[in-house]
Amino acid sequence: MYLRTPAFLLSLYVTPMVLIKVGKLIGSGLAVVSIAGTGIGIGLVFGFFLLAVSNNPELLRTLFGYAILGFALTESIALFGLMMSFLILYGSV
């Protein structure tokens, strides 16, 4: 007994270029996941900054410098992830 194939399945021919495009989309989506971790990290940095200042207000100037440094380093992770996403999407094959 033969199985009948629907006509629309015959028109779906997966070429190597289609697979490359799908791989690029999946890869860039995975690279952007780092932005979610960055948001959590920035929230933790400033949350612990407020906690430290409430425990010891005299160290406000020192702790603020450390908090800004932590913010900048955490934000750089998001920028690297975004850069990788753009390189994956728009880079040559």
Q: Which fold has domain 31-93?
A: F1FO ATP Synthase (1.20.20)
Q: Which residue carries 């999407």 as its tokens?
A: 89
Mean per-residue pLDDT of the chain: 87
pLDDT single digits (tens) 34-48: 888 999 999 999 999
Q: What percent of the chain has pLDDT over 90?
A: 66
pLDDT score for 6:
63
Residue 45 CA to residue 59 CA, distance in Å, equals 16
Q: Where are the domains of the chain?
A: 31-93
Tell me how many degrees the CA angle 72-38-36 measures, rounded to the nearest 5: 160
Assign 4 to helix, strand or coil: coil
What's the rounded mean pLDDT across residues 52-59?
95
